[in-house]
Structure 1
């Protein structure tokens, strides 16, 4: 059996890929009782495996010297057509595809890279921003494998995604925090360490984006994402709402946010691991009883993180991940992003086509990124955010609900690492004026074209959806259901009766 420290790093790295979903990138080393960020160094074995996915290109983060690309606060954007996407009779203007850089004003030299795809149907569709987790993983993983306008084939060509979220929205994919994907800096002091820094950068970007695209300022706006974005999304929603109330700049027409298989309230979610694992047959009752002895220490450590912060938050991550590690030592080679599957090879998912595609000169020319390395997941960003990990981001959501924001929490039922049970529990435990009614509300089928695709519980502006036959990445595993979910939710029609009729939430 692996040592507890080895299993801790295995868990930490797996959450990093959260998140982006790469398994068995696992060095081993020893931890002190209270680990610090400096203890999270990578062994040569781990680095070799990570280099296979270009996760350490030349460096674990992009930094450039003498870069004069942008004036702080300005966007440089270009319309683009991917060279391998054949669209007979369509012009760049008709497609409405854009890529750009934004110089972050609250930084010394940070540039945020993004894609923007206008709706395939109506320009007055809502504007949606998608945030991938990690922390430190690129939005391009979602763009090409989940809910973007197109998908990659084995021969590195692009085909239209019939269930891309651009069929219901004008969608933005952002590489953030700084150092992720094609985002970069010439000063490593620009790396963010908490949700305040992350949400301020995203808010500044949105201000510049709507200034660049004034035709979309009146559209409804929604924040979406998955995994560690369970932290990013509530923080950004609160920041946008605060900015609107203070009349800081352009009013952003925020209507709600959706969190998919996220990490939002660690105290409740870590406590749910053993229940989920026992229910799904990953552990036996004796294992359950034994592992549950770790729960009180985890709860105490997270409480300390919430009150004291700093190194106590690193300690709580180490203490609580023992729960997950013990489950995985028993479950073996199960893919903890989708327990229906085994983890095959060094990586549980193969995203190598994306790496190859983004390294093509024609693609780089189209994007305007030059020779900049693409960083799928940045270890530097990940390490910098570790004291943020065990923070409870649920605490800001009730105020948003009270002000009428729509909140959707959804989860694929086959994911262990951010499982539906833990997400359901924190949603039900959340204290707001409609809590009793939400808890008492019945669960109804979520129907897609007459077929049951999940179960839904809702009251007022709050909804929780468990999606059948989906793992950590719901839009990849159940693309049709994910698009139906997004469309109905934004239209206020996600609630369904047992007869399959859409009704607006009351």
Structure 2
């Protein structure tokens, strides 16, 4: 086995030069005692011209790391840190949501982590996300194509330094806007395999949650979803359907259509689009840096001198889910934390959960062709949706899946966890599984962690949901 891995490493080195630095983290500030799992952090150079490096958190499977799948996890935004995915969604750590008193926020072990069944790389990408950085400003001017290409380069470089995982089943994964990028990365890997550069990469497929497609279905599906959920009236729905027929709702050209969409936007703005049943806590200040600058917070007087603060986000009500988002900011901008994570000094002055200050070109092009290319070659796909997400409604996701024109292997049925309905699922002849997560919002594992862990455990084991 060792000789096989050596040969694989040599093959990879023939095509790629490695530029990786990493550290093993055994303790984290805010967590009591040693970490009960293997955590590694590090950097990989992905843009030599502009000095761009991706930062990552790697957590080994808590089950059988030598055999379990390897998941590359991308977080959406674009430019939300993968640390969100780690501590808010699928990782083995959670913040204690307690009123902030100026001390370091506390972390606890999260039992419903996906690392129970998989090795997971949480990747800060594209450049400018989390602790990923570029030494030249031009490196931050990115788009869908450069993000996916640099992610592909990262993965190859990372596997050069971690050859023990080359033979593990590989899945590219992510949610929200990353749902648009994941199939692009998987297709880039497939192209590399076809070119003979990475014939030994064990790509098995991809998985995406409440995913953006980049097509008009994302926005257009919000209208019927709002009508079905009782958010807009019959009259507004019917008028929108008549006046906007054939239109892309993102760029309406007919005045009557634009007027209807303005009325719709008013209703949309009144509720929490991430989960229509949860309280609206105002804009996510940590996800919109421009809004944060308009508000001051009295918590600044409690800060210790070893914090990198510019304009800390104000705390919402303690009962708001977004309260934990602000705790991330205070934790990640602490010098002691940065030292433990081995963050390169002078690279990121202020860590943001989501950084929307840097340029990013979001194309309107749909990624459906990438799905088709992968599925037609037999790769597996899991597409899941929290069914109370208003941003990317499950009905729109179901619509574009239907457009792939694959026959149904198993029609709409319930799937269960602990004897209770956890959602509904369909499977298709192209190896695609679609699943709703009942009661979940935009980032489904954040709302229904046990159900989503069960879902991923069954799916990666090739078992029915």
Range of TM-score over shorter length: 0.7 to 0.9
The partner residue of 1:456 within 425, 450, 456 is 425
The 8 Å contact of residues 273 and 323 in structure 1, kept in 2 or not, is answered as: no
Deviation at 1:358, TM superposition (A): 0.8
Instruction: Give the 3 Å change call, closer, same or farther, for CA 136–105 of structure 1 in structure 2.
Output: closer
Distance 1:328 1:105, change over 3 A: closer
Alpha-carbon deviations, 1:93-120, whole Å to 9, x = none? x832100011114542111111000111
Q: Find out whether 1:96 has 2:38 as its counterpart.
A: yes
Contact 2:127–2:134 under 8 Å retained in 1: yes
1:117 aligned onto 2:59: yes
Deviation at 1:394, TM superposition (A): 1.3
| Distance change >3 Å, CA 264–CA 316, structure 1 → 2 | farther
Q: 1:384 aligns with which of 331, 350, 360?
A: 360
Greater mean deviation of Cα atoms: 151-160 or 446-455: 151-160
Q: Evaluate the alpha carbon distance shift between residue 258 and residue 107 of structure 1 in structure 2; reply closer, same or farther with a 3 A threshold.
A: farther
**Which residue pairs with 1:147 in the alignment?**
90
**Change in CA separation of 1:106 and 1:429 when aligned onto 2, cut-off 3 Å:** farther
TM-score normalized by structure 1? 0.74
**Secondary structure at 1:476 match in 2:** helix
**CA 1:168 to 1:395, structure 2 compared with 1: closer, same or farther past 3 Å?**
same
Equivalence for 1:401: 375
User: Would you say 1:374 and 2:345 are equivalent positions?
Assistant: no
- Structure 1: runs of 5+ lacking an equivalent: 1-70, 303-314, 496-506
Question: For the Cα contact (< 8 Å) 1:283–1:331, is it kept in 2?
Answer: no
Matched, 1:83 2:83: no
After TM superposition, list the pairs within 5 Å mapping 1:485-504 onto structure 2.
485-495=455-465
Give, in whole Å, the separation in 1 of the partners of 2:45 and 2:439.
Answer: 41
Aligned partner of 1:236 in structure 2 is 185
Q: Aligned to 2:407, which of 430, 433, 436?
A: 436
1:251-270 mapped onto 2 (5 Å cutoff): 251-264=200-213, 266-270=215-219
Task: Give me the whole-angstrom Cα distance separating, in 2, the residues matched to 1:120 and 1:152.
Answer: 20
Aligned partner of residue 244 in structure 2, secondary structure: helix
The TM-score, its normalising length taken from structure 2, stands at 0.80
Structure 1 residues 250 and 354, CA gap change in structure 2 (3 angstroms): farther
Alignment partners' CA distance in 2, 1:73 and 1:183: 17
Aligned mates of 1:222, 1:374 — CA distance in 2: 28
Deviation per CA, 1:218-273, whole angstroms, max 9, x where unpaired?
10011111110121111111011111121224732111111101111522233322
Match of 2:266 in 1: 329
Cα distance in 1 between the residues matched to 2:125 and 2:455 = 25
Q: Secondary structure at the match of 1:464?
A: strand
Residue 328 of structure 2 contacts residue 353 of structure 2 at CA under 8 Å; is this kept in 1?
no
Distance in 2 of aligned mates of 1:473 and 1:191: 26
Going from structure 1 to structure 2, the CA distance change for 1:295 and 1:237 (only over 3 Å counts) comes to farther
Measured in 1, the distance between the counterparts of 2:403 and 2:53 equals: 39
Deviations 1:337-371 (A, max 9, x none): 10002312454722111111112222110111135
Give the CA deviation at 1:296: 3.7
Q: Which deviates the most, 101-110 or 359-368? A: 101-110
Sort the Cα spacing of 1:379 and 1:332 in 2 relative to 1 into closer, same or farther, 3 A: closer
Q: How far apart, in 2, do the equivalents of 1:327 and 1:75 lie?
A: 48
User: Secondary structure of 1:442's partner?
Assistant: strand
Displacement of 1:165 after TM fit?
1.0
Residues 41 and 55 in structure 2, CA contact (< 8 A), matched pair in contact too:
yes
CA distance in 1, matches of 2:230, 2:391: 15
Q: How does 1:83-482 map to 2 (within 5 A)?
A: 83-87=29-33, 95-105=37-47, 107-123=49-65, 124-153=67-96, 154=98, 156-249=105-198, 251-264=200-213, 266-293=215-242, 295-296=244-245, 298-299=247-248, 325-331=262-268, 333-347=270-284, 349-350=322-323, 351-369=325-343, 370=345, 372=348, 373-381=350-358, 383-386=359-362, 388=363, 390-431=364-405, 435-437=406-408, 441-460=410-429, 461-482=431-452
After superposition, the CA RMSD in angstroms is 2.5
- Unpaired stretches in structure 2, ≥5 consecutive residues: 1-15, 99-103, 285-319
- Following superposition, the deviation at residue 293 of structure 1 comes to 4.4
Q: Deviations over 1:105-153 (max 9, x none)?
A: 4542111111000111111211101111111111111111111111111
Cα deviation, residue 83, structure 1: 2.9
- Secondary structure, in 3 states, of the residue corresponding to 1:454? strand
What is the alpha-carbon distance in structure 2 between the residues aligned to residue 289 and residue 466 of structure 1?
A: 27
2-structure distance, mates of 1:176, 1:103:
12
The range that moved more, 196-205 or 250-259, is 250-259
- 2-structure distance, mates of 1:74, 1:316: 47
